Structure 1
Amino acid sequence: ATLKAPTIFFCRNNGYAISTSVEDQYAGDGIVCRAIGYGMAGLRVDGNDVFAVNAAVREAREYCLTHNAPILIEAMTYRQGHHSTSDDSSRYRCPKEVHSHSTSTDPVKRLNAFLERNGWMSADGTAKIRDEERMAVLQAMESAERRPPPKMETLFTDVYELMPRHLQRQERQLHDHLAKHPD
């Protein structure tokens, strides 16, 4: 923000930071109000509404281009699943809370309902697309799992045309480590 870089900062406020609810994280009304403290504009949007998010990002982009300045978007949403595979969100969220959000604010269900209401998609069409895409993902995973892992040396070859010194040093350190510990 201090450099006035035309950057969109996108914060998905899902109500939790791992297992800590927003009520225990900060006082006040969300994150977007903090943008002013950094000298930035801010927008809040219903993160469960695909059309509202699209409009907010378009507006933010226009703001960045017009003002040559950063902007913060806070998308208000809800994390329906666990934070990670090691998280058990039932320890800090009751099933009633999760069920309430999954039935009333789920963005996929909302979009499907909109498409069906306007006659652009049917429940059968949605199920067919979901099944086809699930199969495509599973096939891609199987294909990727059959490939040999990339060589360790490729860690350093796909970003910079001319590798910076600090990465050259890290590459040598990795090479030395692998020479000492080949397994």
Structure 2
Amino acid sequence: LLHALAGIIKPTAGTVIFRGADLSRMSDAERTKLRRNDFGFVFQSGQLLPELPAVENIALPMMLDGMPYRTATDTAILWLERMGLRALATHRPGEMSGGQMQRIAIARALAVKPAVVFADEPTGALDQATGREVMGILMAAARDNGSAVVVVTHDPNVASFCSRTVTMQDGQLGGVR
């Protein structure tokens, strides 16, 4: 479902409409541009590139969209400061804790000022205390950024950060809370 909502795959039934456009009617190039410019992604494992330092991991989506290196890295530094991780700008993911990597992933997702952030088990690899901290940071930063957040989780503690929850069981959408 998350992949269909994000335009990664086409739904087998129904439609996904974003800003009046049916994602399944868009070309691959249009959906790629939508994911790059309007959607941000936070994955359970962070999905950071191990060979890049934190600042470049955050700057990469902006550079892929044509932003000059200096502008993208300056923006990334501001996000590192916002996340309290300025000192890790030159560190690679292997030199960071799980919580630090997730905050870098959140910064990368939000730096492009997306309309929607898709988070797939964003605290699954973290201990409970760090998970609560990361969810608080994600939700506050998204709110400040004007971004909606779609979270997929099995953890009721993570779901409690959301203003609305929809359950899914055996492939069927259930109740809304």
Q: Which category describes the TM-score, using the shorter chain as reference length?
A: under 0.3
Calculate the TM-score normalised by the size of structure 1.
0.25
Larger Cα Rg: Structure 1 or Structure 2? 1
Q: TM-score, normalised by structure 2?
A: 0.26
